[in-house]
């Protein structure tokens, strides 16, 4: 028996961080991050400059790549997959973020996002690819603070496939997340889906480390006879036709199914359960290139994770290092122009502005002159008034988060009795209702704020 397969699994479970960079990647319909650090998307998200925060991540050494310097982090890379059934519900993404604070992770592939179009959240910690108009299917990735800082770019291929590329060592890392058609789908749909994955693989640089995560809707079973090269001896259940198709794909492209590599108890293997808890299957899988399978230290299911889904969270630990760019954090603050209401402050500002305008050389083009005037106004303002930083408050309430924690605990015992099952359903409904109420309250508060500012003539603050 292989010593690697027998060793004690490494336990996951440290709280991650929260904050970092953003997207990009190659041609076609991809999102490109410019050399200036700005990102533009086709989904209406505004072009903005990346602001990276300092983190407490441990560092072993510095590596220079071209003109940029990168820091290598020591932590083990944790990649996972989770079918959340939907994020198209009020507060569902906030609840997902809150739930993942209980676990250490870097990149989590999310299935059944059910958001339209494609793009990223303003904070840059979630990227997605969905249908153009209908709230069906959809895939995405939730990124930790460390992963955001190493993100090179992402490619929203379709509502079933999304890829993201990260700076890592010894080679760059490409994560592909997929959501496979269900068993009710036609064979043609399945083949089109696998063709899209193969296309994504061909577009990936050959030197990249490739990890494929997702809800495969395929049962590979526990018998690895004739399939030893692509799966281990520790699968779960029986194999079906879709499982055969997945194994054929793995044999052709050489990925290894990490879920089957380690001996685990049953509830750390199965990733989906029927509503009555009777039928259970292993269908959410993490695959890695065969030459890197020895880098995998553990891969297991976490039944404690709760997002009101019949699927369970799967996390995989891999001995890889991410490299983040060493960019000095830039702080963007808004000048507090309300201070100019003071006669004394206004006189100081006017004096400084006049002095700066007098120094401008008029022997230049109209565009150059306008730019110099703008710079003079900014300099005079910065020298006169202080800056203010607007703090964004979370709209979801502590009450909703507490209900989510209660629901999480009840999930562990929901199958003990019918009463517990009903209590869990009630808590699910309470969380949804509370989140909707939080959103309504937040919108109402914002409307009241704007109305009050307009009443006193403060249009700047009202539109801020």
Same domain, residue pair 286 and 238 = yes
Closest CA to 317 of 1, 58, 8, 101: 8
> Cα–Cα distance between 415 and 193 in angstroms, integer?
35
Same domain, residue pair 339 and 444 = no
In a domain? residue 123? yes
- DSSP-derived secondary structure letter, 197: H
In sequence order, the 6+-apart residues with CB closer than 8 A to the CB of 454 are 462
Closest CA to 128 of 174, 177, 173: 177
pLDDT of residue 331: 56
Same domain, residue pair 210 and 237 = yes
pLDDT of residue 28: 37
> Cα–Cα distance between 98 and 109 in angstroms, integer?
16
In sequence order, the 6+-apart residues with CB closer than 8 A to the CB of 88 are 113, 114, 115, 135
Are the C-beta atoms of residues 204 and 174 closer than 8 Å to each other?
yes
Same domain, residue pair 192 and 338 = no
Tens of pLDDT along 154-165?
A: 999 999 999 999
Same domain, residue pair 338 and 211 = no
In a domain? residue 393? no
Same domain, residue pair 49 and 122 = yes
Same domain, residue pair 310 and 361 = no
Same domain, residue pair 188 and 265 = yes
* CATH number of the CATH domain containing 280: 3.60.10.10
In a domain? residue 157? yes
Same domain, residue pair 103 and 201 = yes
Same domain, residue pair 89 and 133 = yes
Closest CA to 154 of 137, 135, 173: 173
H/E stretch holding 198: helix 187-203
Are the C-beta atoms of residues 283 and 272 closer than 8 Å to each other?
yes
> Cα–Cα distance between 178 and 138 in angstroms, integer?
9
In sequence order, the 6+-apart residues with CB closer than 8 A to the CB of 27 are none
> Cα–Cα distance between 193 and 463 in angstroms, integer?
45
Q: At what angle do helices 343-358 and 366-384 cross, to 10 degrees?
A: 140
CA distances from 448 to 347, 438, 445 (A): 34, 15, 5
Same domain, residue pair 115 and 182 = yes
286: left (phi over 0), alpha (psi -120 to 50) or beta: beta
- Choosing from 368, 388, 408, the residue where a domain stops is 388
Domain assignment of residue 97, given as a range? 3-325
Tally of domains within the chain: 3
Are the C-beta atoms of residues 322 and 331 closer than 8 Å to each other?
no
Tens of pLDDT along 411-431?
A: 888 878 888 888 988 998 999
For 333, the 3-state DSSP assignment is coil
Same domain, residue pair 453 and 339 = no
> Cα–Cα distance between 320 and 291 in angstroms, integer?
13
In a domain? residue 254? yes
> Cα–Cα distance between 237 and 266 in angstroms, integer?
10
For 405, the 3-state DSSP assignment is helix
Full pLDDT tens readout for the chain, 464 residues: 444 444 444 334 433 333 344 444 443 344 333 333 334 444 433 322 323 333 333 322 333 333 444 444 557 899 999 999 999 999 999 999 999 999 999 999 999 999 999 999 999 999 999 999 999 999 999 999 999 999 999 999 999 999 999 999 889 999 999 999 998 899 999 999 999 999 999 999 999 999 999 999 999 999 999 999 999 999 999 999 999 999 999 999 999 999 999 999 999 999 999 988 899 999 999 999 999 999 999 999 999 999 999 999 999 999 988 876 655 555 556 777 777 788 888 888 888 888 888 888 878 888 888 888 888 888 888 888 887 666 667 788 889 888 988 988 888 888 788 888 889 889 989 998 998 898 888 888 888 888 887 777 777 666 66
pLDDT of residue 332: 55
> Cα–Cα distance between 195 and 253 in angstroms, integer?
12
In a domain? residue 458? yes
Q: At what angle do helices 418-455 and 398-411 cross, to 10 degrees?
A: 170
């Amino acid at each position: 028996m292989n010593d690697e397969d027998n060793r004690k699994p490494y336990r996951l479970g440290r709280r991650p961080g929260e904050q970092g960079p953003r997207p990009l990647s190659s041609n076609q319909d991809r999102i490109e991050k410019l050399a200036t650090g700005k990102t533009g998307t086709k989904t209406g998200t505004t072009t903005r400059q990346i602001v990276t925060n300092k983190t407490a991540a441990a560092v072993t050494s510095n590596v220079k790549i071209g003109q940029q310097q990168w820091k290598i982090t020591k932590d083990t890379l944790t990649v996972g997959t989770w079918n959340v059934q939907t994020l198209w519900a009020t507060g569902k993404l906030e609840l997902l973020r809150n739930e993942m604070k209980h676990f250490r992770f870097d990149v989590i592939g999310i299935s059944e996002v059910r958001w339209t179009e494609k793009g990223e959240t303003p904070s840059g910690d979630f990227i997605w690819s969905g249908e153009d108009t209908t709230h069906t299917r959809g895939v995405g990735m939730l990124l930790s603070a460390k992963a955001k800082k190493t993100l090179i770019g992402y490619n929203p291929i379709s509502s079933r496939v999304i890829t993201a590329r990260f700076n890592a060592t010894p080679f760059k890392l490409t994560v592909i997340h997929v959501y496979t058609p269900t068993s009710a789908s036609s064979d043609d749909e399945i083949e089109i889906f696998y063709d899209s994955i193969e296309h994504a693989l061909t577009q990936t640089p050959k030197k990249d480390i490739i990890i494929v995560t997702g809800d495969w809707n395929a049962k590979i079973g526990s018998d690895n006879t004739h399939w030893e090269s692509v799966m281990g001896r520790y699968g779960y259940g029986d194999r079906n036709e879709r499982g055969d198709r997945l194994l054929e794909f793995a044999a052709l492209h050489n990925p290894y199914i990490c879920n089957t590599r380690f001996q685990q108890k049953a509830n750390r293997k199965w990733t989906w359960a029927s509503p009555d808890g009777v039928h259970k299957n292993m269908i959410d899988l993490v695959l890695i290139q065969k030459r890197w399978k020895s880098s995998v230290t553990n891969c297991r299911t976490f039944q404690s994770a709760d997002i009101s889904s019949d699927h369970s969270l799967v996390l995989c630990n891999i001995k890889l290092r991410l490299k983040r760019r060493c960019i000095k954090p830039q702080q963007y603050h808004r000048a507090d122009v309300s201070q100019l209401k003071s006669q004394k402050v206004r006189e100081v500002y006017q004096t400084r502005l006049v002095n700066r305008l007098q120094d401008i050389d008029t022997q230049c083009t109209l565009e150059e002159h306008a730019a110099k005037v703008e710079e003079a106004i900014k300099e005079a303002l910065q020298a006169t008034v202080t800056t203010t930083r607007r703090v964004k408050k979370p709209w979801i309430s502590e009450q909703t988060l507490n209900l989510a924690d209660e629901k999480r605990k009840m999930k562990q015992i929901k199958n003990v009795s019918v009463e517990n099952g009903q209590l869990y359903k009630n808590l699910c409904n309470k969380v949804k209702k509370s989140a909707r109420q939080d959103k309504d309250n937040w919108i109402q508060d914002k409307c009241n704020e704007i109305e009050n500012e307009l009443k006193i003539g403060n249009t700047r603050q009202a539109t801020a």
